[in-house]
Structure 1
Amino acid sequence: MAAMPPEQVGYVPDKLKKAEKRIRTQSYDTEAWSVLIRDSQMKPIENARPVYEQLVEQFPTSGKYWRIYIEQEVI
C-alpha cells in the first residue's frame, strides 16, 4: 500500500502526532509546541487558529508566542 501524499485531506504527519501526544502528557513541552507552531505557520490562519489559541492559553505571558500568533493573523 502506498503512503498518503501530504496534500491529501486529513493527512497528519507522524511528527505532528508525536508532538500532540507529548503536549497532552507534558503541556509545557516547548519543543513539541515548536513543531506545532512551524506546521501552523504554513497553514491559513483559519486552520491554524486553534493551535495558536491553545498556545497562548498555555503560555499567556509569553510575548514571543503572542507575536507569532498576531503576525499570522495580519498576514
Structure 2
Amino acid sequence: MQRRVYKMDKMQKAEERIKSNPWDIEAWSVLLRDAQSKKIDDAREVFERIVTQFPVAGQYWKIYINQEVT
C-alpha cells in the first residue's frame, strides 16, 4: 500500500512539474518509466503525450513502438 501511495505521489509531482515546464525531461522520464511497466492499453496516452511533446526524439518513438509490439 505504501509503495502505491509513493508511486502515485511521484507521478503527481511529475505531472505538476510538466504543467509548469513542458520541457522537463526528468519529469517526463518518471512518466515514461511508469508507462513502460504497464500494458500498452493503459500506457498509450502517456506515450502519445511524450511523442507529441518531443516529436523528433527517436528514443521515445522506439520505446513506444517496442511497447506496442510486445
Higher helix share: 2
Q: Using the alignment, how far apart are the partners of 1:5 and 1:56 within structure 2?
A: 28
Identity %: 53
Between structure 1 and structure 2, the one with the greater Rg is 1
Unmatched tracts of structure 2, length 5 or more: none
Where 1:19 maps in the other structure, the secondary structure is helix
Q: Using the alignment, how far apart are the partners of 2:12 and 2:3 within structure 1?
A: 16
1:23, distance to aligned residue in structure 2 (A) = 0.5
Corresponding residue for residue 54 of structure 2: 59
1:4, distance to aligned residue in structure 2 (A) = 6.3
Unmatched tracts of structure 1, length 5 or more: 7-11
Alignment partner of 2:10 out of 15, 20, 24? 15
Q: Which structure carries more relative contact order (alpha carbon 8 Å, separation 6+)? A: 2
Where 1:13 maps in the other structure, the secondary structure is helix
Letter of the aligned partner of 1:34 in structure 2? S
1:5, distance to aligned residue in structure 2 (A) = 6.6
RMSD in angstroms over aligned alpha carbons? 1.4
In the TM superposition, what are the counterparts of 1:31-46 in structure 2 within 5 Å?
Answer: 31-46=26-41
Letter of the aligned partner of 1:69 in structure 2? Y
TM-score scaled to structure 1, two decimals?
0.84
Q: Which runs of 4+ in 1 moved over 3 A?
A: none
